[in-house]
Structure 1
Amino acid sequence: MNFKITGTGSYIPNVVTRNADFEQHEFFNLDGSSFPQDNPTTIRKFKAITGIEERRYIEPEMNTSDIATLASKKAIEDAGIDPETLDYIIVAHNYGDVKSNTVQSDTVPSLATRVKAKLKISNPKCVGYDILFGCPGWIEGMVQANAFIKAGIAKRCLVIGAEALSRVVDSHDRDSMIFSDGAGAAILEASEETGGILSHESATFSLQESEYIYFGKSNNSKSSEDIRFIKMNGRKIYEFALVNVPKAMKTCLENSGKSIEDLKTVFIHQANEKMDEAIINRFYKLHNMQAPEHVMPMTIHELGNSSVATVPTLLDLVRKGKIDHQKLEKGDVVMFASVGAGMNINAITYEV
Structure 2
Amino acid sequence: MSLVSAAVITGVGSYLPSRLVRNTDEPLSLLDTDDEWIRSRTGIRTRHWVEPGESTGDLAVQAGRRALRSAEITSVDLVVLSTTTPDHHSPGTAPWVAAQLGLGNVAAFDVSAACSGFTYALAAGDAWIKAGMAERVLVIGAEALSTITDPSDRGTAVVFADGAGAVVLQRGCAEEPGALLAVRLGSDGTQKDLAIVAAGGSRWPEERQQAARGERCLRMQGPQMFSHAVRRMTEVSRLVLESVGWQPDVVEAFIGHQANQRILDKVADLVGVPGPARLGNVRDVGNTSSASIPLVLDEVVREKSVGAGARTLLTAFGAGAVWGSVAMTWPDIRPPS
Structure 2 length-normalised TM: 0.88
Any conservation in 2 of the 1:18–1:55 contact (CA below 8 Å)? Answer: yes
Structure 2: which amino acid aligns with 1:157? V
Give the deviation of 1:46 after TM superposition: 2.2
Distance 1:293 1:182 in 2: 26
Deviations along 1:203-228, whole A, 9 cap, x unmatched? 10122x111001158xxxxxx72561
Any conservation in 2 of the 1:204–1:342 contact (CA below 8 Å)? Answer: yes
Partner of 1:169: 149
Q: Are 2:160 and 1:179 aligned?
A: yes
Paired residues in the alignment total 312
Q: Are 2:83 and 1:93 aligned?
A: yes
Task: List, as ranges, runs of 4+ consecutive aligned residues in structure 1 with deviation greater than 4 Å.
Answer: 22-27
The sequence identity of aligned pairs, in percent, is 27
Deviations along 1:215-261, whole A, 9 cap, x unmatched? 158xxxxxx72561001001001111222211110011000122323
Structure 2: which amino acid aligns with 1:191? G
Task: Give the root-mean-square deviation of aligned CA atoms.
Answer: 1.9
Distance 1:112 1:24 in 2: 32
Any conservation in 2 of the 1:178–1:304 contact (CA below 8 Å)? Answer: yes
Distance 1:167 1:294 in 2: 35
SS state at 2:197 partner: strand
Partner of 2:121: 141
Distance 1:302 1:210 in 2: 28
Q: Which runs of 5+ in 2 are unaligned?
A: 200-210, 331-337
Q: Are 2:74 and 1:110 aligned?
A: no
Distance 2:96 2:241 in 1: 36
SS state at 1:210 partner: helix
Give the deviation of 1:120 after TM superposition: 2.0
Any conservation in 2 of the 1:213–1:231 contact (CA below 8 Å)? Answer: yes
Distance 1:329 1:25 in 2: 41
Distance 2:310 2:157 in 1: 37
SS state at 2:189 partner: coil
Distance 1:169 1:24 in 2: 12
Any conservation in 1 of the 2:6–2:181 contact (CA below 8 Å)? Answer: no
Structure 1: which amino acid aligns with 2:125? A
The structure with the greater share of residues assigned to helix is 2
Structure 1 length-normalised TM: 0.84
Partner of 2:49: 57
Structure 2: which amino acid aligns with 1:254? E
Q: Are 2:221 and 1:225 aligned?
A: no
Distance 1:329 1:26 in 2: 44
SS state at 1:202 partner: strand
Q: Which runs of 5+ in 1 are unaligned?
A: 28-37, 98-105, 218-223, 285-290
Distance 2:27 2:197 in 1: 25
SS state at 1:135 partner: helix
